[in-house]
Chain A
Amino acid sequence: MLSATSPAIAAVSTTNPTAIAMFVGFVAATLVITFYSARKSSGSSAYFAAGRRITGWQNGLAVAGDYMSAASFLGIAGMIALSGYDGFLYSVGFLVAYLVVLLVVAEPLRNAGKYTMADVLAYRLKPRPVRALAALSTITVSTFYMIAQMVGAGSLVKVLLPGIGYNVAVCGVGVLMIVYVVFGGMLATTWVQIVKAILLMSGSVLLSVLVMSHFHFSLSEFFHSLTNISYHDKSGAEVTKDFLTPGMKFKNPLDFISLSMALVFGTAGLPHILVRFYTVPDAKTARSSVVWAMALIGFFYIMTTFFGFGAASVLGPDFIGRNGGGNMAAPQLARALGGDVFFAFISAVAFATILAVVAGLTISASTSFAHDFFTNVIHHGKERQPGEEVRVARITAFVVGAASIGLAIALGPNANVAFLVGLAFAVAASANLPAIVFSIYWKRFNTAGAVASLIVGLVASIGIIIISPTIMTIDPPSVAASARHLIQHAPIFPLENPGIISIPLGFLAAIVGTLLSREPSAEARFDEFVVRANTGLGAEKATSE
């Protein structure tokens, strides 16, 4: 395996100067943003919510930027390139999920909350248990997601810039993300997302246009090229497949259902997406920002058709497998069609993507710790000194960043961590979504229900994924030790994604927990909550310049 990849790595190493120049350019731009953000007025609402002065299109770009992670850009392109149609199902789910965000969650959340997802849960319910668990769930989801991105960043830089080692790359990404979040807060993080989203969209459009020009701008020629793609499967036999046919990755129909459930219900529970709706002045702007995000995200995921399937057709799965694997499919395609300069550009875009997303995750984790856990759980909702909450968040961001660097280095570049993103979606859908939806729409919902859904959703998602084939698989002896599945045992749960079991369990736990107890105070505050959520009366306002 190693001998097959090293010539490709050697070939890649000749492209350094352009790639380095573009990396440096992006990093410099983001540091300028951070510098200006840090000079703007301080205060909790400025630090945690960018003063609530982000406009609709800006927040749309930032939401899209937070969402189109390296797992989307590199991962989905690679998955489509290697597994054909099944990979494209991710693209579909990622967009449709925003209907749940738009219709069910975004506006009530903006109207009734302040800085975190837990604000909405704590509104009617007993704040301490609910906030403690919501903070735990937020930090868990963010950390899982972040480690997957950091390992991806390290591997990417290792292949693109072999002079820089994996550890150095991980430290570099970690330090930059700490700088953005600690000094620039939400304002810097948002603008880094915006710049990155624009870069990612332009890179994807260029790449898609190059793919179509390869097929003489004929869709039928493009789709025809996908019907007979030959490659060697794991056993070494040559096979020819139609890449538009479902079932190359998932054999069990229930796998399709379980994945679709986690995707479509997970997004509305992802804390780093939800906090973005606090950065806009009101619910109406939150709505328009979801619409902007849906336009961008939908357009982007439709383009995965061109650069995902295009990579399968132009490069072939064998070539991709030999040259850095699925995650490198999009950059390799850029190299094949656009030469070294374009390759460097796409690589810089991928790097920018990772950097922006880890910064977004760090700020959502540190906000939740400072606001939910430190101020509200430990200190009963009171800041002992002005500015304490922001100070705690800055320290937390530093700790979260350092811990992620440590974990990513400990896991190493070949670690099989792609499942962590799936796990983050499963936890978000199973633990967070039931609590959010019921606290907004169900008067009878109470603390016991929220606690039950957060605990059961979290434990069920993690527990089921541990016994699923993503972690529990017997690898053939040819697989390198570091890339092996964590538990060498036949899987107990047959599906890749725990959603089909864990999501109903989370909702069921919320209902059972609620019905087993009564909480008159929670029901009494429902009138207040529902008026607030639907009219914006008393909602947190934007701060003046």
Chain B
Amino acid sequence: MPPEEPHLPPDPTPIVGSAPDISSLTHRGPKPSHERTAAEEAGDVDWAGLAASERFKDLLRAKRRFIIPAMLISILYYFALPVLVGWFPDLMKKKIGDGANIAYLFALSQFFMAWIVAGIYVAKAGAWDRAAAALLHHRSEK
């Protein structure tokens, strides 16, 4: 049998709380993480150490290895459209089959290019999310 609880006054805290981002007036003590400002939070993190860690450098390298070429290729592919349309109109006018011309089909292909690049990015980003989570986990263990 647990010892009998002493008779406490009823808890005055309202059941419906106000939004946490203005509630700093209503409670003291260390702020929960979602209330801390960037400056407050920066204080307890060894940013330089994290930035210099091999795990983080690997993450950045992996991101760069994909993002820079992917961005360059899609921008080149995209600007090929105005260049071809502007300077080679006769080529672009050619009909393919009995439907649209090259200009239209090349423009249409841009939509699929954008979707494909976005799809590959999202597939890759899953691994980066895991790497970032592992990095933060590793840090909190130390």
Query: In whole angstroms, how far apart are the Cα atoms of A532 and B136 in the complex?
Result: 11
Q: Could you tell me if B78 and A264 are in contact, using CB atoms closer than 8 angstroms?
A: yes
Q: Could you tell me if B19 and A530 are in contact, using CB atoms closer than 8 angstroms?
A: no
Q: Given the complex, which residues of A lie within 8 Å of B128, measured CB to CB? A: 534
A246 at interface, CB cutoff 8 A: yes
A515 at interface, CB cutoff 8 A: no
Q: Could you tell me if A245 and B101 are in contact, using CB atoms closer than 8 angstroms?
A: yes
Q: Given A103-B70, A123-B38, A220-B99, check contact A245 B89 (CB 8 Å).
A: yes
Query: In whole angstroms, how far apart are the Cα atoms of A10 and B79 in the complex?
Result: 45
B127 at interface, CB cutoff 8 A: no
Q: Could you tell me if B82 and A537 are in contact, using CB atoms closer than 8 angstroms?
A: no
Q: Could you tell me if B135 and A538 are in contact, using CB atoms closer than 8 angstroms?
A: no
Q: Could you tell me if B79 and A527 are in contact, using CB atoms closer than 8 angstroms?
A: no
Kindly count the residue-residue contacts between A and B in the assembled complex, taking CB atoms under 8 Å apart: 189
Taking the nearest CB of chain A, how far is it from the CB of B77, in angstroms? 9
The one of B63, B101, B111, B121 in contact with A302, judged by C-beta atoms closer than 8 angstroms, is B111
Q: Could you tell me if B111 and A103 are in contact, using CB atoms closer than 8 angstroms?
A: no
The one of B20, B24, B83, B114 in contact with A95, judged by C-beta atoms closer than 8 angstroms, is B114
Closest to B39 in A: A381
Q: Which of A122-173 contact B (CB under 8 A)?
A: 123
Query: In whole angstroms, how far apart are the Cα atoms of A387 and B114 in the complex?
Result: 42
Q: Could you tell me if A96 and B74 are in contact, using CB atoms closer than 8 angstroms?
A: yes
Q: Given the complex, which residues of A lie within 8 Å of B38, measured CB to CB? A: 112, 114, 123, 532, 538
A542 at interface, CB cutoff 8 A: yes
Q: Could you tell me if B86 and A256 are in contact, using CB atoms closer than 8 angstroms?
A: yes
Q: Which of A100-120 contact B (CB under 8 A)?
A: 100, 102-104, 112, 114
Closest to B86 in A: A253
Q: Which of B102-142 contact A (CB under 8 A)?
A: 103-104, 107-108, 110-111, 113-115, 117-118, 121-122, 125, 128-129, 132, 135-136
Query: In whole angstroms, how far apart are the Cα atoms of A387 and B19 in the complex?
Result: 12
A541 at interface, CB cutoff 8 A: yes
- Name the interface size band of chain B: 35 or more
Q: Given the complex, which residues of B lie within 8 Å of A102, measured CB to CB? A: 118, 121
Q: Could you tell me if B110 and A95 are in contact, using CB atoms closer than 8 angstroms?
A: yes
Q: Could you tell me if B56 and A541 are in contact, using CB atoms closer than 8 angstroms?
A: no
Q: Could you tell me if A531 and B56 are in contact, using CB atoms closer than 8 angstroms?
A: yes
The one of A46, A99, A123, A535 in contact with B21, judged by C-beta atoms closer than 8 angstroms, is A46
Q: Could you tell me if B93 and A245 are in contact, using CB atoms closer than 8 angstroms?
A: yes
Q: Given the complex, which residues of B lie within 8 Å of A530, measured CB to CB? A: 51, 60
A89 at interface, CB cutoff 8 A: yes
A236 at interface, CB cutoff 8 A: no
B22 at interface, CB cutoff 8 A: yes
The one of B82, B92, B101 in contact with A260, judged by C-beta atoms closer than 8 angstroms, is B82
Query: In whole angstroms, how far apart are the Cα atoms of A260 and B67 in the complex?
Result: 21
Query: In whole angstroms, how far apart are the Cα atoms of A319 and B59 in the complex?
Result: 58
Query: What 1/0 flags go to B1-41 for Cβ under 8 Å of A?
Result: 00000000000000000111110110000000110101001
Q: Could you tell me if B71 and A103 are in contact, using CB atoms closer than 8 angstroms?
A: yes
Closest to B106 in A: A92
Query: In whole angstroms, how far apart are the Cα atoms of A45 and B21 in the complex?
Result: 7
Query: What 1/0 flags go to A437-453 for Cβ under 8 Å of B?
Result: 00000000000000000
Query: In whole angstroms, how far apart are the Cα atoms of A91 and B22 in the complex?
Result: 43
The one of A88, A98, A220, A301 in contact with B118, judged by C-beta atoms closer than 8 angstroms, is A98
A3 at interface, CB cutoff 8 A: no
Query: What 1/0 flags go to A360-404 for Cβ under 8 Å of B?
Result: 000000000000000000000000001100000000000000000
Q: Given A89-B107, A244-B100, A256-B86, check contact A531 B50 (CB 8 Å).
A: yes
Query: What 1/0 flags go to B63-79 for Cβ under 8 Å of A?
Result: 10001001100110011
Query: In whole angstroms, how far apart are the Cα atoms of A96 and B74 in the complex?
Result: 8
Q: Could you tell me if B78 and A103 are in contact, using CB atoms closer than 8 angstroms?
A: no
Taking the nearest CB of chain B, how far is it from the CB of A94, in angstroms? 10
Closest to B24 in A: A386
Taking the nearest CB of chain A, how far is it from the CB of B16, in angstroms? 9
Q: 25 A-B contacts, Cβ less than 8 Å apart?
A: A42-B22, A43-B21, A88-B104, A89-B81, A89-B82, A95-B111, A102-B121, A123-B38, A224-B99, A245-B92, A250-B86, A252-B86, A264-B78, A291-B118, A294-B115, A295-B115, A301-B111, A527-B50, A528-B42, A528-B48, A535-B136, A536-B132, A538-B45, A541-B34, A543-B20
Which residues on B are within 8 Å of A, measured CB to CB?
18-22, 24-25, 33-34, 36, 38, 41-42, 45, 47-48, 50-52, 56, 59-60, 63, 67, 70-71, 74-75, 78-79, 81-83, 85-87, 89, 92-93, 97-101, 103-104, 107-108, 110-111, 113-115, 117-118, 121-122, 125, 128-129, 132, 135-136
